[in-house]
Chains A and B, each alone.
Chain A
Amino acid sequence: MGQETALQKTPLFDCHQGLKARIVEFGGWSMPIQYQGITAEHQAVRQKVGMFDISHMGKFRLQGPDVLATLQTLVTSDLSVLQPGQAKYTVMLNPQGGIIDDLIIYDRGKDASGISHAIVIVNASTTDKDKTWLTPHLAAANITLTDESTQNALIAVQGPQAIATLQTLTSYDLSTIPIYWHADITLMDRPAWVARTGYTGEDGFEVMVAPEVGIALWNRLLELGVTPCGLGARDTLRLEAAMALYGQDVNDTTTPLEAGLGWVVHLDKPNFIGRDVLLQQKERGLLRSLVGFEMQGRHIARHDYEIQVDGKPVGIVTSGTFGPTLEKAIALGYVPPEFAKPGQSLDVIIRGKACPAVVVKRPFYRRPKVT
């Protein structure tokens, strides 16, 4: 072992150890990568309900005169349409148009004294970088940022039975909270903030509570038959849903247009950091595009493998896995736009061998519509 780095532990760390999870370092935290196994955990979320400790994620509480108006200049989405209780997935860019982070902004409206509030959830590995970037911009508008990343437990409950399971712990009618909305409720007789968001491609909630409530909630959900799931299943689930992972599929050098995140970019907004670069890219055309592709054989394309067309290197795989629901090897990677259309044949170089793949529409997996 030797190196004793000061890894942070979430309030649920002892629960994971009790469940004999395999623990790994992730973004400066000691986190469970799997309990019983990635495939079983993955299937539990697709078919029933699973839960993830995501307390490592960055949690900022913002308050001040007009929080959304200031964030409006820092992210690519149009926040003017947000209503109190609503949330928005978006990205914030550096002046070169690169993605500093992807994040969710939760509008909490104004309090009695007219002060506006928002919660911003960011990636664990980028929490400090984001805080450093945001703080001066927010301070200039008299907005305070409180970093609650280590203060609360955050548990994602995901899957077709997620809502019904959580509903047994609260008298608040959870079905009245639409997807991408959030609310303050009472859960197990304690205050909880719940958001109908997630990173699995399934319906569900992310629940923020005090640390001791988090432990009680985790144990109660276990009793109710919810499957504990680690970062391994979180990765296969998000990749089947073709959601980008920061630091892998997107980073400071990729723009949202390249990353297929054009749907969160509102260039009609008069001003936001990075807008000029995106306008230019739009005019001149992109040099690369993030595509989803399926391997034609059983080889798995993984991060950093080379992509070729007709024997020539054209790009790089950013994420790849075996998709347990699709029962296929799937991947994301950057290629020039001329090779980005569904149906395009690619080769991924795997241990010296060209393995065929075909570009497909994203997401790879879409949950069945409830009728």
Chain B
Amino acid sequence: MSFEYPEDLRYLDSHEYVRLEGDIATIGITAFAVEQLGDIVFVELPEAGDTLIQGETLGSVESVKAVEDLYAPITGTVVESNAIVIDTPEKLGEDPYGEGWLLKVKLDATPDLSEMMSAAEYRDRVEGE
């Protein structure tokens, strides 16, 4: 099975992605994660003003059959959590890189992305599974 992994994103082993635009990071989960989870029914996210710490859990995504913790790819302060996916979690499954984003976060400092993967590296990692 092959999915889209946009080139401009960086990817975590635990299937989150991050998109950097200036000092704002957009966090979501990948098309592979969405496929593995199946029908998503509930997304639990921090609220605007909450602090994220790189590597720590920030919330969870529940599907009918499983729950997966979400991990913060960067450290910063939440500016917005996506009300659309909170109210209609199935949107996350339909468009994970667009309308299905989870959080917009203001970075505290230049993030260390050395642990994160490029689209090609992530593709190799998940399609090798």
A37 at the interface (CB under 8 A from B): yes
Q: Give the docked Cα–Cα distance between A30 and B35 (Å).
A: 20
Instruction: Contact check, A232 vs B38: say whether CB atoms are below 8 A apart.
Output: yes
B18 at the interface (CB under 8 A from A): no
B80 at the interface (CB under 8 A from A): no
0/1 string, B37-60, CB within 8 A of A gives 1 = 011011010000000000000001
B64 at the interface (CB under 8 A from A): yes
- Chain A residues whose C-beta falls within 8 Å of the C-beta of B64 in the assembled complex: 38-39, 232, 236, 321-322, 324
Q: Which of B39, B62, B63, B69 has the most CB of A within 10 A?
A: B39
A interface majority secondary structure: mixed
Instruction: Contact check, A299 vs B44: say whether CB atoms are below 8 A apart.
Output: yes
Shortest C-beta distance, A336 to chain B (Å), equals 27
Q: Which of chain B's residues has its CB closest to A353's CB?
A: B44
A190 at the interface (CB under 8 A from B): no
Q: Which of chain B's residues has its CB closest to A323's CB?
A: B64
Within 8 A of B (CB), among A298-341: 298-300, 302, 321-322, 324, 329
Instruction: Contact check, B39 vs A299: say whether CB atoms are below 8 A apart.
Output: no
Instruction: Contact check, A351 vs B38: say whether CB atoms are below 8 A apart.
Output: no
- Chain B residues whose C-beta falls within 8 Å of the C-beta of A300 in the assembled complex: 41-42, 62, 67
- Chain B residues whose C-beta falls within 8 Å of the C-beta of A165 in the assembled complex: none
The 8 closest A-B pairs by CB, nearest first: A39-B39, A322-B41, A298-B42, A38-B64, A322-B64, A300-B62, A232-B65, A37-B39
- Of B39, B42, B60, B63, which one neighbours A351 at CB under 8 angstroms? B60
Instruction: Contact check, A299 vs B62: say whether CB atoms are below 8 A apart.
Output: yes
Q: Give the docked Cα–Cα distance between A321 and B41 (Å).
A: 10
Listed A/B pairs (24) with beta-carbon separation below 8 Å: A33-B65, A34-B38, A37-B38, A37-B39, A38-B39, A38-B63, A38-B65, A39-B39, A39-B64, A232-B64, A232-B65, A236-B64, A298-B41, A298-B62, A299-B42, A299-B44, A299-B62, A300-B41, A300-B67, A302-B67, A321-B64, A322-B64, A324-B64, A351-B60
Number of interface residues of A (CB under 8 A): 17
Q: Which range holds the interface residue count of chain B?
A: 10 to 19
- Chain B residues whose C-beta falls within 8 Å of the C-beta of A34 in the assembled complex: 38
Which A residues contact B (CB, under 8 angstroms)?
33-34, 37-39, 232, 235-236, 298-300, 302, 321-322, 324, 329, 351
State whether A38 and B38 are in contact (beta carbons under 8 Å apart), knowing that A299-B62, A300-B62, A322-B62 are contacts in the complex: yes
Which B residues contact A (CB, under 8 angstroms)?
38-39, 41-42, 44, 60, 62-65, 67, 69
- Chain B residues whose C-beta falls within 8 Å of the C-beta of A321 in the assembled complex: 64-65
Q: Give the docked Cα–Cα distance between A299 and B67 (Å).
A: 10
Q: Give the docked Cα–Cα distance between A38 and B69 (Å).
A: 21
- Chain A residues whose C-beta falls within 8 Å of the C-beta of B42 in the assembled complex: 298-300, 322, 329
Q: Give the docked Cα–Cα distance between A33 and B41 (Å).
A: 18
- Chain B residues whose C-beta falls within 8 Å of the C-beta of A329 in the assembled complex: 42
Q: Which of A34, A38, A236, A300 has the most CB of B within 10 A?
A: A300
Q: Which of B41, B42, B64, B69 has the most CB of A within 10 A?
A: B64
- Chain A residues whose C-beta falls within 8 Å of the C-beta of B39 in the assembled complex: 37-39, 324
- Chain B residues whose C-beta falls within 8 Å of the C-beta of A38 in the assembled complex: 38-39, 63-65
Q: Give the docked Cα–Cα distance between A145 and B38 (Å).
A: 41
- Chain A residues whose C-beta falls within 8 Å of the C-beta of B67 in the assembled complex: 300, 302
Task: A34-B38, A299-B44 are known; give 13 further A-B pairs, CB within 8 A.
Answer: A37-B38, A38-B63, A38-B64, A232-B38, A232-B64, A232-B65, A298-B41, A299-B42, A300-B41, A300-B62, A300-B67, A322-B42, A351-B69
- Chain A residues whose C-beta falls within 8 Å of the C-beta of B41 in the assembled complex: 298, 300, 322
Q: Give the docked Cα–Cα distance between A34 and B66 (Å).
A: 13
Q: Give the docked Cα–Cα distance between A299 and B62 (Å).
A: 8
Q: Give the docked Cα–Cα distance between A38 and B38 (Å).
A: 7
Shortest C-beta distance, A330 to chain B (Å), equals 11
Shortest C-beta distance, B68 to chain A (Å), equals 11
Q: Give the docked Cα–Cα distance between A302 and B67 (Å).
A: 9
Shortest C-beta distance, B20 to chain A (Å), equals 28
Q: Give the docked Cα–Cα distance between A236 and B67 (Å).
A: 15
Q: Which of chain B's residues has its CB closest to A298's CB?
A: B42
